[in-house]
A and B are shown apart, each in its own frame.
Chain A
Amino acid sequence: MPGWQKFYHDLNNKNFEIISIAQDTGGAKAAAQWITAANPEYTALIDDKHLVTQLYNMVNVPTGVWINEKGLIVRPNEVAYVDNRFTGMHGIDAAPYLDAIRDWVEKGDRSQFVMKEQEVKERLKPPSQDRVTADAEFGLAEYLHKMGKAEDAVAHFKEAQRLDPDNWNYKRQAWALTDAEKNYGTSFGKEVQKLNGKPYYAPRQLPETKKP
């Protein structure tokens, strides 16, 4: 978040807003320290029901979506790092993405990084029936967890993970809420190892920047 604060501050453009949204069952309690430390001038919101993950069919963090002045999606879900702190793990360089955002903020819909309507539509797929059911199982699990029924929530978190196996948000959130080794027999580190070279994030596809 401090990275996005600096980026936003340096851009200093009144027609551009960052809305960052914490996907955290733990709500403000879990997210507050990070937001307070970054002290952002942009909009920082807290989503304790993973609503945005569901509405936008996301499967990971950080995920970025570009929305133009008319409220239309011009670049859908893609990995959105502001720095290279975790590049060792996923190999993604943040710089080209930040350059692309700067280009968009300056040129708007004329930016080469803005996708044509057809391309956005091809990338966005309707959620499968399994995904929609997984969202409900995850919602039920979160509800039980918040009611103090953490043990009863585990079965529903597992069912959400089974129905939407590529959804890292649903795995990592559940593992973080209780003892992952005890309740799920695994950990984030172990699961990343299991990928065995398969990418953790769907590859980002930015057009090559034309050098002047």
Chain B
Amino acid sequence: MLKILVYAAVAILLAAGVTNAAEERSSIVYDGVSTEVTGSIDAAKNLWISMDDLKRATHFVVKPQGVCRDELCFPLPAKRQADFISKRGAVTWFNLTAFANLVKQPVVRDEKNAVWFFGKRADERGAFLASLEAPNFSLPDLNGKLHSLADYRGKKVLLITWASW
């Protein structure tokens, strides 16, 4: 009896191994923050992650009106839902690279270290060109205290970059 159970367990593990062949522990860097997820990589090298991981790694959630974070919502093309969302067994997967393409966000990958880096969307990068409002940032001083450009509204600010190299 015990033998049969062991065989059954091995068979289940093997089966799981086959269906999960393309799954790997991956790091997603999104908005500069790294999150460990279980990634599922399809033949077209798309990165699929679970809905839970989507929320953890990007703070985006899928809603009826689209893929949303706070006030920001990107509707998914009605005819291409299957390109973005796929249910397999108990897990619903989300295609994060297809979503990046949809919102014009660059994605680069280091295969060896299983790191996926998501850059800034084009709309984030060019927003100030129409308004000329200087892009805001929050950065630390030598003591680790954060300063935002917006804190200096009402003063003239000379921004100067430099480097030690």
A44 and B113 contact, Cβ closer than 8 Å, known pairs A54-B120, A132-B119: no
**B163 x A22 contact (CB < 8 A):** yes
Smallest beta-carbon distance A20→chain B, Å: 5
A23 and B156 contact, Cβ closer than 8 Å, known pairs A132-B119, A133-B108, A144-B113: no
B70 at the A interface (CB under 8 A): no
Q: With contacts defined as CB atoms under 8 Å apart, how many contacts are there between chain A and chain B in the complex?
A: 209
Residues of chain B with a CB closer than 8 A to A1's CB: 162
Kindly identify which residue among A35, A61, A144 contacts B142, using a CB–CB cutoff of 8 Å.
Answer: A35
Chain B binding site: helix, strand, loop or mixed by DSSP?
mixed
**B132 x A72 contact (CB < 8 A):** yes
Q: Per-residue CB proximity of A137-175 to B under 8 Å, as 1/0? A: 101100110010100100010010000000001001101
A147 and B117 contact, Cβ closer than 8 Å, known pairs A16-B155, A17-B156: no
Tally B residues with Cβ within 8 Å of A.
Answer: 47
**A120 x B132 contact (CB < 8 A):** yes
A117 at the B interface (CB under 8 A): yes
A67 and B141 contact, Cβ closer than 8 Å, known pairs A18-B158, A126-B125, A144-B115: no
A56 at the B interface (CB under 8 A): yes
**B106 x A61 contact (CB < 8 A):** no
Residues of chain A with a CB closer than 8 A to B2's CB: none
In chain A between 47 and 99, which residues have their CB closer than 8 angstroms to a CB of chain B?
Answer: 47, 49, 51-58, 61-73, 80
A192 at the B interface (CB under 8 A): no
Tally A residues with Cβ within 8 Å of B.
Answer: 81
| A50-B140 Cα distance, complex, nearest whole Å | 13
Q: Per-residue CB proximity of A10-22 to B under 8 Å, as 1/0? A: 0000111111111
B29 at the A interface (CB under 8 A): yes
Q: Per-residue CB proximity of A97-118 to B under 8 Å, as 1/0? A: 0000100110010000000010
**B152 x A17 contact (CB < 8 A):** yes
Residues of chain B with a CB closer than 8 A to A45's CB: 139-141, 147
B135 at the A interface (CB under 8 A): yes
**A121 x B106 contact (CB < 8 A):** no
Residues of chain B with a CB closer than 8 A to A120's CB: 132
B153 at the A interface (CB under 8 A): yes
Smallest beta-carbon distance B33→chain A, Å: 10
**What would 20 A/B residue contacts be, using CB atoms closer than 8 Å?**
A4-B160, A17-B155, A19-B158, A21-B139, A28-B142, A35-B142, A36-B142, A47-B137, A52-B161, A67-B152, A69-B156, A70-B153, A71-B150, A72-B132, A121-B129, A126-B126, A126-B129, A133-B108, A135-B106, A140-B108
Chain B residues in the interface with A (C-beta under 8 A): 29, 32, 34, 106-110, 112-113, 115, 117-120, 122, 125-126, 128-129, 131-135, 137, 139-142, 147, 149-150, 152-165
Chain A residues in the interface with B (C-beta under 8 A): 1, 4, 14-24, 26, 28, 30-36, 43-47, 49, 51-58, 61-73, 80, 101, 104-105, 108, 117, 120-121, 124-127, 129, 132-133, 135-137, 139-140, 143-144, 147, 149, 152, 156, 159, 169, 172-173, 175-176
